[in-house]
Chains A and B, each alone.
Chain A
Amino acid sequence: RKEVEQDPGPFNVPEGATVAFNCTYSNSASQSFFWYRQDCRKEPKLLMSVYSSGNEDGRFTAQLNRASQYISLLIRDSKLSDSATYLCVVKTNTGNQFYFGTGTSLTVIP
């Protein structure tokens, strides 16, 4: 079983739409959670950390459900510039390792 599982998509949405990505993780001892964004042929870049209380950064909202081992990302009012692959990332304290989902592809259509 993979450490982190994501729906690969692709998600094709019109500008202005709201889109949600989900992710599950298998290691209940995981301590830190993130969403990264990766543009085509570029390196992953941190979009936001995910906290148990949920957190929001502008149009982006991340939620964590430890009991269900589930992480989500909500993007409101989608922009063309949001088109990218979104990676769900889980970090364990053992060895300080990161585990990546395979990514969810988003294309925002004019």
Chain B
Amino acid sequence: NAGVTQTPKFQVLKTGQSMTLQCAQDMNHNSMYWYRQDPGMGLRLIYYSASEGTTDKGEVPNGYNVSRLNKREFSLRLESAAPSQTSVYFCASSDWDSGTFGSGTRLTVV
């Protein structure tokens, strides 16, 4: 009953460093998403993948790239981290109805 698994849970990066956030789901969902959550801003969509083999930009894609590796896995990459990317990142997956979220990654860029 893992659902959506995100790694790592916490990360501190220096400005300019790169990293990849991993996400995997075991519910056979077609769609997967990456959100960031900042105080007072709510959840904002970074990128999503409606199905395996497709990815599309969301509301705030700048500074990020994604890979839908297979149906289970959807990774988010920061090529050159900036302090403005300090946030909590959530991965989610969905079928035709509601979505299920991972437990989040707390990222701090110093």
Footprint of B on A, CB under 8 Å?
8, 32, 34, 42-46, 49, 87, 95-103
Contacts and interface: CB of A to CB of B under 8 A. Distances in A.
B53 interface: no
Contact of A98 (B30, B56, B99, B102): B99
- Size category, B interface: 20 to 34
Contact of B94 (A8, A96, A101): A96
Nearest to B48: A97
B48 A44 contact: no
A102 B50 contact: no
A43 B94 contact: no
Contact of B103 (A42, A100, A102, A103): A42
Contacts of A96: 30-31, 48, 50, 94
Contact of B58 (A42, A49, A97): A97
A38 to B, nearest CB: 9
In the A-B complex, the 10 residue pairs with the closest CB atoms: A102-B42, A43-B101, A100-B43, A96-B31, A46-B98, A96-B50, A100-B42, A43-B103, A44-B101, A43-B104
A87 B45 CA distance: 15
Contact of A102 (B40, B48, B56, B104): B40
Nearest to B106: A41
Contacts of B56: 95
28 contacts: A8-B40, A34-B98, A42-B103, A42-B104, A43-B101, A44-B90, A44-B101, A45-B101, A46-B98, A46-B100, A49-B98, A87-B42, A95-B48, A95-B50, A95-B56, A96-B30, A96-B50, A96-B94, A97-B33, A98-B45, A98-B92, A98-B94, A98-B99, A100-B42, A100-B43, A101-B42, A102-B40, A102-B42
